[in-house]
Structure 1
């Protein structure tokens, strides 16, 4: 079992952040508890994950106020992720716009994979809650609710996780997507949450 030096990895991640986002990038000490949990998960460090009560088989739901650095952190985590657990980040608003143009195939694309070929992948849905219910030929559809319900089926059958970034609380997720989605999310994700008072770093 490899032993990881977390403070050293944080320094390395900060260098990565500077390369990606510029010299003003800094990892704040206040955020270390959140980052340690994310690192335990993405390094698949069983001992540390167990200490933080994180299930390595489930996905991650990272929540917190606008501008606290959620998407930036998930982008940095890609650098720690082993190839078999690699994930892509997809903004929910982009998925909604694709739905307007392409219709229901988009739900298939982000759940089961390409049409006619089932090849589901690990995806991180960014900014869940910023997309709106959209109409395709007059039919209104809660696109992300449909995708998340299908992703649950994939998680159960193929053990492929889903990651989510959002500034919604659990009750707001239920209001926006219904109690079926909230109930499925409970069994398919680990919740890692910034404090409500986390500062806007933008």
Structure 2
């Protein structure tokens, strides 16, 4: 596989480095298995901004990443180690969608602003990976129901168009499930906002 990649990076060396970072974060059991290399190579190309490889993979480096796959396939842990591979100007942090929903219950609509335009004292919005999209619920704040993540993603889409702000997402939802949860408007904008990188649905749960 790596022989097909025309790149000045050694992808096998990068995978070894990522595995060491994964062991550091998650313990000695962490390993990137060979059947996942096709996914991991795409993420490496993207986060190193290796334009030649991105071109081969059909990845637009200006967009974010939508990493989809079944529960337990390793989406979250992969994005957590990719943080350390990202170039300085593309650093991001991982935020569970469920946590955002709980913050919304407590603090209300300012949470939507916080995860789109940023906090009032911040100079610019931040690149964020919204982890496990679909695990949060529609929530009520003082009786008003709100699809919090839909509103955040629509706001971040506007910022992507105006300021090239990138957004990353992990989810186990299919495209049709995303539309059911968040509406056609969100699904349509996600196509423009993110590169889709998808695990095969037959991937085994690595938590077993």
- Counterpart of 2:103? 98
Residue by residue, what CA displacement relative to the aligned partner does 1:138-175 show, whole Å, maximum 9, x if unpaired? 00000000000000000000001100000001110000
- Counterpart of 1:25? 30
How is 1:29-68 mapped onto 2 (pairs within 5 angstroms)? 29-68=34-73
Q: 2:199 aligns with which of 179, 182, 194?
A: 194
RMSD over aligned Cα atoms: 1.0
How is 1:39-188 mapped onto 2 (pairs within 5 angstroms)? 39-115=44-120, 119-188=124-193
Superposition TM-score, scaled by structure 1 size: 0.97
Assess, with a 3 A threshold, how the Cα gap between structure 1 residues 177 and 199 changes in structure 2: closer, same or farther.
Answer: same
More deviation in 10-19 or 32-41? 10-19
- Tell me which stretches of 4 or more aligned residues in structure 1 moved more than 4 Å: none
Displacement of 1:116 after TM fit?
Answer: 7.0
Distance 1:117 1:196 in 2: 39
Residue by residue, what CA displacement relative to the aligned partner does 1:59-95 show, whole Å, maximum 9, x if unpaired? 0000000000000000111111111100010000000
For the Cα contact (< 8 Å) 1:124–1:163, is it kept in 2?
yes
Residue 11 of structure 2 corresponds to residue 13 of structure 1 = no
- Counterpart of 2:4? none
Distance 1:116 1:181 in 2: 28
Displacement of 1:117 after TM fit?
Answer: 5.5
More deviation in 126-135 or 115-124? 115-124
For the Cα contact (< 8 Å) 1:112–1:118, is it kept in 2?
no
SS at match of 1:107: helix
Unaligned ranges ≥5, structure 2? 1-6
Displacement of 1:115 after TM fit?
Answer: 3.2
